[in-house]
Amino acid sequence: MSKILVTGGTGYIGSHACVELIESGNEVVIVDNLYNSNIAVLDRIEKLTGVRPTFYEMDILDADGLRRVFHEHKIDAVIHFAGYKAVGESVEKPLEYYHNNITGSLTLYMVMKEVGCKTLVFSSSATVYGSPKSCPIEEDFPVSTTNPYGSTKLMNEMILKDICISDPEWSVLCLRYFNPIGAHKSGLLGEVPNGIPNNLVPYIARVAIGQLEYLRVFGDDYDTVDGTGVRDYIHVVDLAKGHVSAVNHALGVKGFDTINLGTGNGYSVLEVLHAYEKACGKTLPYKVVERRSGDIATCFASTTKAKEVLGWEANYTIDEMCEDSWRFTQMNPKGIGTDL
């Protein structure tokens, strides 16, 4: 059993990871400032696992606070989810994004170094591949970014690589997620976007529940199966299980590595819409509009390295992802912490 510090542990992916970590016998300590999550998530983790994680309402920019956490707990490894994640907003507010995602992360890494906790799993993103030359995308493909959010992910990877070069005691795994969707089967945990969703499935979910009128499909003239954008959607529970494998692996090795977490399958916008229609039993209206600036046609992962290194692969189908999203949406029409 290991004791894992989970930053951002009340957030969408972090909360699912906490459940999987606890269910596989680990102890979890969460640090989250509740900027984009609700304290009620803790009740739900407890309801699902029978264990209430230790929780610190704290900003990762608070170095003294983090020191206190490490002194109060003998942490074996950190999974670092905390950060801002909206691509469009990062273009409007670059300073806030760099401050939170870079200065915040640096603060965490400094304190980890100070206290001698040198095992880390970092939430990176497929966004670091920019516009990939081909698919499936392998981990050694060139990296580049087109927005401040993506730059914060790539910069974190560079910083962590340099830390590992400087000190061979460190073990760092950067997990490059493709498109996480879906929710816990119980309907108790899921994604609660702030305001109007930017991402496809949260948007479709609002159309299905009647809070938004129709889906805008951003372009149908890409070179894809039906002209709409193709992505590698991965169930958040599969992703969470990937973190359990990753942290176990990181605890047994040293050095820096990057690993894709995806399914290796690509689905178009219309294919996802139709899977969601099947899940909710309704026809969902959509209109094709202009391409969204910065979008690429196709993006899906090579999953070979994750299988080889972590012994992990995704299992859930696109139909299950949509069914679980729909169950969560129906059970939590106003989000978590407002209705239970």
Give contact residues for ligand NAD (rule: CB under 6 A).
Answer: 8, 10-14, 31-37, 59-61, 81-83, 85, 100, 104, 123, 125, 177, 180
Residue 104 or 242: the one with the smaller Cβ distance to ligand NAD is: 104
CA pair distance 218, 60, nearest whole angstrom: 36
Tell me the two tokens of residue 202.
């949260």
E strand or H helix at 270, and its extent?
Answer: helix 269-280
Judged by beta carbon distances under 5 to 8 A according to partner kind, the member of ligand WQD, ligand NAD, none in contact with residue 231 is ligand WQD
- Check residue 145 for interaction with ligand WQD (CB under 6 A): no
Q: How far is CA 290 from CA 42, 173, 223, 285, in A?
A: 41, 37, 15, 17
Instruction: Give, as ranges, the residues between 279 and 338 that touch ligand WQD (CB under 6 A).
Output: 292, 295
**Gap between the Cα atoms of 319 and 337, Å rounded:** 27
| Spatial contact of 87 and 198, defined as CB atoms under 8 Å apart | yes
179 sits near ligand WQD (criterion: CB under 6 A): yes
At closest approach, how far in Å is the CB of 177 from ligand WQD? 6
Cβ–Cβ < 8 Å for 66, 41:
no
Residue 83 contact among ligand NAD, ligand WQD, none, beta carbon within 5 to 8 Å by kind: ligand NAD
Closest approach, Cβ 279 to ligand WQD, in A, equals 17
Q: Residue 228 gets which letter from DSSP?
A: S
Nearer to ligand NAD, 132 or 180 (CB): 180
Pick one of 41, 87, 117, 336: the residue that binds ligand WQD (CB under 6 A).
Answer: 87
The span of 37-45, 72-80, 98-106, 196-204 binding ligand WQD (CB under 6 A) equals 196-204
Using N-to-C axis directions, what is the helix angle for 318-331 and 200-208, rounded to 10°?
50
- The item of ligand WQD, ligand NAD, none sharing an interface with residue 218, based on CB under 5 to 8 Å by kind, is ligand WQD
What distance in Å separates the CA atoms of residue 25 and residue 9, rounded to the nearest whole number?
17
Which stretch in 15-23, 39-47, 213-221, 331-339 sits in contact with ligand WQD by CB under 6 A? 213-221
Residue 189, Cβ density class (10 Å: 0-12 exposed, 13-18 middle, ≥19 buried): buried
Helix (H) and strand (E) counts for the chain?
12, 14
Q: Kindly list the catalytic residues.
A: 149
156 membership: H or E segment, kind and range:
helix 148-166
Nearer to ligand NAD, 103 or 166 (CB): 103
Question: To the nearest whole angstrom, how small is the minimum distance from the Cβ of residue 210 to ligand WQD?
Answer: 16
* Partner from ligand NAD, ligand WQD, none contacting 14, C-beta within 5 to 8 A by type: ligand NAD
C-alpha to C-alpha distance for 59 and 62, rounded to whole angstroms = 5
- Residue 198, contacted partner among ligand WQD, ligand NAD, none, CB below 5-8 A by kind: ligand WQD
- The footprint of ligand WQD (CB under 6 A) covers 85, 87, 125, 127, 179, 198-200, 203, 215-218, 229, 231, 269, 292, 295
